Amino acid sequence: MNNGKSQALILGILLCVGLIGMGVVLGNAAIDYKKLDRTVSVKGLSEREFEADVVIWPIQYAVASNAVNELYEEIEQTNLQISNFLTSNNIQSSEITFSMPAIIDRSAQQYSYDDAAKFRYTASQNVTVYSNDIATVRAAMAKIADIGKQGIVLTGDDYAAQTEYLFTKLNDAKPSMIEEATKEARMVAEKFAADSNSQLGKIMTATQGQFSISERDKNNPHIKKVRVVSTVKYYLTD
């Protein structure tokens, strides 16, 4: 009987020790888990300026006549004048294209209130320059008044007649810009950790924002501003 009580007592002691040990282990695990729960989320920005590498320059003009054949002859002559102007300003003929002319017959319009119009037919035409030589094209743009002096009526109010500048080398810039944004994010995180008496741990998550391309300003549309923001979440430790 005494042996049974002794065994029960020993078993109870061992059980208590085991429970205490388990409690200590679980307590340490909870503390470690709580430490892992401490994080800081920061953003890093990379922003650079690049020259556009493609320019699309539409030159739009209008002509009018009372005879269709004369209208087309005038379009051909005007196209030749514009082409000569462009090539004389060092723009390659392979960079010049001519769209189909848009012709309006005023007498054929169902709802026409312009019976006193001087010309029956009007046409608009686009001559487009597509080039990688931005400087040469911009120099020609500065002389566009020379076309008007030849009696050509230029129209530029149409949205389709707006000059476009494109930056097509984004993939070449991406790696270094992502690296720069990530480094800036780490610098911000390290500063936060130091201010909070903590140590910066490993990266928990990282996301890269979309690259955006915009004009630097309205007076220099050929200079593009490229930016990307990276978001990084770090663990903090004591």
Looking at residue 161, what is its pLDDT? Answer: 74
Cite the DSSP H helix spans in the chain.
Answer: 2-36, 68-88, 134-141, 145-148, 170-195
Q: What are phi and psi of 111, to 5 degrees?
A: -115, 85
The confidence score (pLDDT) of residue 85 equals: 97
The closest alpha carbon to 172, from 43, 55, 50, belongs to 50
| pLDDT recorded at residue 231 | 94
Q: What is the pLDDT of residue 226?
A: 97
Q: What is the pLDDT of residue 10?
A: 58
- All domains in the chain, ordered by first residue: 37-52+167-238 (3.30.110.170), 54-166 (3.30.70)
Q: What pLDDT does residue 237 have?
A: 85
Q: Is 138 helix (H, G, I), strand (E, B) or coil?
A: helix
Q: Are 52 and 167 in contact (CB under 8 A)?
A: yes
Q: pTM for the whole thing?
A: 0.75
Q: Which SS3 state, helix, strand or coil, does residue 223 take?
A: strand
> Is-contact 170 226, C-beta < 8 A?
yes
Return the pLDDT at 34: 47
Residues 230, 44 contacting (CB under 8 angstroms): yes
In the numeric block, which tokens belong to residue 118? 């001087």
How far is it, in rounded angstroms, from Cα 99 to Cα 128?
8
Element (H, E) at 229: strand 223-237
3-state SS, one letter per residue, for 5-57? HHHHHHHHHHHHHHHHHHHHHHHHHHHHHHHHCCEEEEEEEEEEEEECCEEEE
Mean pLDDT by 10 residues, the chain (238 residues): 58 55 45 60 94 96 92 94 96 95 78 65 93 96 92 77 92 94 93 88 89 93 95 89
pLDDT at 31: 40
For residue 227, the 8-state DSSP code is E
